Amino acid sequence: MVDRLVNSEANTRRIAMVENCFGTSGQPLSVPGRVLVGEGVLTKMCRKKPKPRQFFLFNDILVYGNIVLSKKKYNKQHVIPLEEVSLTSLEDSGHSRNGWLIKTPTKSFAVYAATATEKAEWMAHINKCVTDLLRKSGKKAADSHAAVWVPDSEATFCMHCKKVQFTVVNRRHHCRKCGNVVCGQCSNKKILLPRQSTKPVRVCLSCYDELSTSKLENEYVDFNTSENKEKYNMDSSADDDSDDDNDEVPHNQGKVETMTFYEGNDSIHAVGEGETTPSKSPDPTGVSA
C-alpha cells in the first residue's frame, strides 16, 4: 500500500530529488503525507506533435514537465490535482498505440506509453490513487472535463466553415469548448468558462451560439464588447498550449525509458488493508513498513 511509504526516508529523498530536478521552475512538492508513487516518460500529444514528457505520479497530484536532461533537469512543470482526473483508454490506431486520455476540468490531453504493459500499469496506478483520494475526502469525481484538442496536423481546413485552408497567414486556433481547430473568423468570440480559466477563452462560433443560448455552462460571461475584446485580445498564437513551445531540447532519443513504480508489482493488486504482504521481493529502498 502506498501508505506504507508515507514516512519513509526513501520517499522523502525521492520527492526532494524531483523538486531538485525542476529547480526554480517548479513548486515545492514536499508536503506531509505525500508519496511519490511512480515516474516515467510518456509521450504527450501536444498541439503540433507528440512529445516526450517526464511524469511523476504522487498519491494526490500528477506532475509532468519537459525533459531538459534526462533524470537530471526538467522544466515547465504542470501540476494536476488527481481528484479532478479521470482516464479514458484509447484504441490503438496506426502509430498511436498504448494511449489514454487524462481528463481534467481545466485541461485534457492524450498520452502514450511505450508498451501495452506500461499503459496498463500507469492507468491502474493513477486510477487507484484517484479512487483512494476520493474515498478519503468523500468528494465526487469531476463531472465535466475540458475538451481534448484536435492536433493541428489533423486539420488542413477550418473545422467550422470548412472553407478556410490553414496557412502561415490563416492560422489555426483551438476552440476551448469542443477542441476543434478553427480559423480566426470562426473563433472571433470569447467567452468565460470559469472551470477552465479566469479569463475569457476562445470558442468556435458553434460553441459560442450553443453556450450563449443555453445555460449549460451556468456562469459564462460574454466578452465580446469592443473594450473587453481589446482588453483580453491576446496574441493569436500565444494563447495556445504553452508547454509546446521552445522545448526542442535533445534528449536521449531511441533509448527506451521505462517507468518505475515504487510499490513493486504486487502493490496495485493488493487485496485490501489487512493483506498479508507476500513481499518476497525486498523493498529496493531498504525501508520496510
* Interface ranges with Zn ion (CB under 5 A): 158, 160-161, 164, 175, 177-178, 183, 186, 204, 207
Rounded CA separation 232/190 (Å): 9
100 near 85, Cβ under 8 Å? no
- Give me the least distance between CB of 203 and Zn ion, in Å please: 5
DSSP states of 117-182: HHHHHHHHHHHHHHHHHHHHH-PPPP---PPBPPPGGG-SB-TTTS-PBP-SSS--EE-TTT--EE
Rounded CA separation 30/11 (Å): 10
- Give me the least distance between CB of 191 and Zn ion, in Å please: 10
Q: In terms of CB distance, is 14 or 177 closer to Zn ion? A: 177
Q: In terms of CB distance, is 60 or 239 closer to Zn ion? A: 239
Q: In terms of CB distance, is 134 or 164 closer to Zn ion? A: 164
Rounded CA separation 189/14 (Å): 46
Q: In terms of CB distance, is 39 or 239 closer to Zn ion? A: 239
Q: In terms of CB distance, is 164 or 270 closer to Zn ion? A: 164
- Give me the least distance between CB of 243 and Zn ion, in Å please: 22
The residues facing 100 across adjacent strands are 89, 111
- Give me the least distance between CB of 131 and Zn ion, in Å please: 32
> CA gyration radius for the chain?
21
Rounded CA separation 256/262 (Å): 19
- Give me the least distance between CB of 163 and Zn ion, in Å please: 6
**Alpha-carbon dihedral angle through residues 42, 122, 4, 267, given to the nearest 10 degrees:** -140
- Give me the least distance between CB of 214 and Zn ion, in Å please: 14
- Give me the least distance between CB of 161 and Zn ion, in Å please: 3
DSSP states of 233-265: ---TTTTS-GGGTT------TTSPP--EETT-T
Rounded CA separation 104/192 (Å): 17
Q: In terms of CB distance, is 126 or 203 closer to Zn ion? A: 203
Q: In terms of CB distance, is 126 or 158 closer to Zn ion? A: 158
